[in-house]
Amino acid sequence: MIFYNAQLMQNESEAKLYMVTNPVAFKKFEDHESAIYINLHELVERAIKEKEDPIALIESYLDITYTGGQTVNEIASFLFHTDKMVSAMWTLKESWDQVDETLPQDSLMYGGLGKDKARQVYMEITLRSYLETLSQDKNG
């Protein structure tokens, strides 16, 4: 199941940064954050399989110098701890703090983008598109 919550992801950019797959809806920020961390690993791994250079992409899009190792775990961890990603996680945490759990589940899962659009956006996410969106984040 694609986890999309209109309260947490109020536009397409936030959806790209925060949407993940999970068998059930998240109940708290820390679980969602962990799933995003796993998703970063998957994006890095897929980029490598598609002959992309994740390190070059990170350096280019985030305008930083990569100082980590060469494994998928090291690259994803580095990305997760960049200023832009920390800022994005802080924004998500603030949104979680304001979630209204009294709203119907359907409105939480498929709010602003609509079910089909959310699914389409999720299916099109690559490391490159993720970094492009992250680099344009106004909070970082």
Most confident of 59-68, 116-125, 130-139: 59-68
Q: Global pTM?
A: 0.89
Q: Report the alpha-carbon distance of residue 58 to residue 122 in Å, rounded.
A: 20
If pLDDT is split at 50, 70 and 90, which confidence band does 10 have?
confident
Q: What is the pLDDT of residue 116?
A: 82
d(CA 119, CA 110): 10
What's the pLDDT score for residue 45? 98
Q: What dihedral angle (degrees, nearest 10) is formed by the CA atoms of 79, 82, 88, 94?
A: 120
Judge whether 3 and 26 are in contact, CB under 8 Å.
yes
The yes-or-no verdict on residue 111 having pLDDT over 50 is no
Residue 57: which region, alpha, beta or left (left: phi > 0; alpha: psi -120 to 50)? alpha
pLDDT of 48 above 90: yes
- For residue 110, pLDDT over 60 is answered with no
Mean pLDDT (whole number) for 81-88: 96
Q: What is the mean pLDDT of the chain?
A: 89
- The one-character DSSP state at 20 is E
